[in-house]
């Protein structure tokens, strides 16, 4: 069983609600699917980063490795689409990879979830018609009732999205369509490389390839 801790937010009676088995099962599966996708995505970023060179001098080797990393990034369609190709240098590649490493490390520890009981109203906390989950640094992932109504893939990529938030990354606006996320990577690549929506879509590409 995955290393997961789950509890439900208290009712007004101050008693913890009983969590149905089907909700626990969906959380476990989403956690496992998300972990697989993150590892697949990180493997691609590792392949981009781990370049070598046979140039004779250290300066030439470093220059050659930088060129190879940039070429490998651009040649990888998934990386290029969701993280852009502009403003690309060694630091940008390093930071993007490190951000996904930190998300992967969250799965290797105890992943905490809190189930919110109401989608709307004063007992819904931050859940509403547009929010199915939320998280901030140092807190569990909060799952709204509508999260359980989504498909298996959407539940899994939402976990990736929220773990990006947990590591301190924010987005100033939402994206209604996938093409908006793609355009964001084209027009604002440096921001896209720390945007939870871009990490969500990037990892989601590996859903069908997980087996």
Domain parsing of the chain, residue ranges? 4-204
Instruction: Look at residue 126 and tell me whether its pLDDT is greater than 90.
Output: no
Return the minimum-mean-pLDDT range out of 5-14, 75-84, 151-160: 5-14
The β-bridge relationship of strands 141-143 and 133-134 is antiparallel
Cα-based torsion angle of the residue sequence 200, 36, 33, 141 in order, rounded to the nearest 10 degrees? -60
Instruction: Look at residue 104 and tell me whether its pLDDT is greater than 50.
Output: yes
Residue 69 has phi, psi (to 5 degrees) of -65, -45
User: pTM for this one?
Assistant: 0.91
Residue 170, CA atoms < 13 Å, CB-side half-sphere = 5
Instruction: Look at residue 82 and tell me whether its pLDDT is greater than 60.
Output: yes
What order of strands is seen across the sheet that includes strand 133-134?
A: 4-8, 111-115, 141-143, 133-134
Q: Which fold has domain 4-204?
A: Collagenase (Catalytic Domain) (3.40.390)
What are the tens digits of pLDDT across the range 8-21? 766 555 666 788 89
Whole-number pLDDT of residue 125: 78
Whole-number pLDDT of residue 210: 47
Residue 174: pLDDT band (50, 70, 90) is: confident
Average pLDDT over residues 131-138: 93
């Amino acid at each position: 069983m995955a290393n997961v801790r789950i509890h439900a937010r208290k009712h007004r009676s101050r008693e913890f609600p009983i969590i149905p088995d089907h909700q626990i099962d969906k959380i476990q599966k989403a956690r496992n699917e998300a972990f697989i996708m993150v590892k697949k995505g990180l493997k691609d970023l590792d392949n981009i980063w781990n370049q070598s060179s046979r140039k004779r001098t250290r300066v030439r080797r470093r220059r050659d490795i930088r060129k190879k990393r940039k070429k490998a990034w651009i040649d990888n369609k998934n990386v290029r689409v969701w993280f852009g190709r502009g403003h690309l240098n060694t630091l940008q590649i390093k930071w993007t990879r490190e951000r996904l490493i930190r998300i992967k490390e969250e799965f290797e520890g105890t992943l905490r979830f809190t189930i919110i009981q109401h989608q709307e109203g004063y007992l819904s906390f931050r859940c509403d018609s547009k929010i199915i989950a939320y998280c901030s640094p140092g807190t569990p992932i909060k799952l709204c009732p509508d999260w359980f109504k989504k498909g298996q893939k959407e539940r899994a990529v939402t976990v990736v999205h929220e773990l990006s938030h947990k590591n301190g990354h924010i987005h100033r606006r939402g994206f209604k369509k996938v093409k908006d996320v793609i355009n964001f990577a084209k027009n604002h690549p440096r921001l896209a490389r720390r945007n939870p929506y871009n990490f969500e879509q990037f990892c989601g590409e590996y859903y069908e390839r997980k087996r």
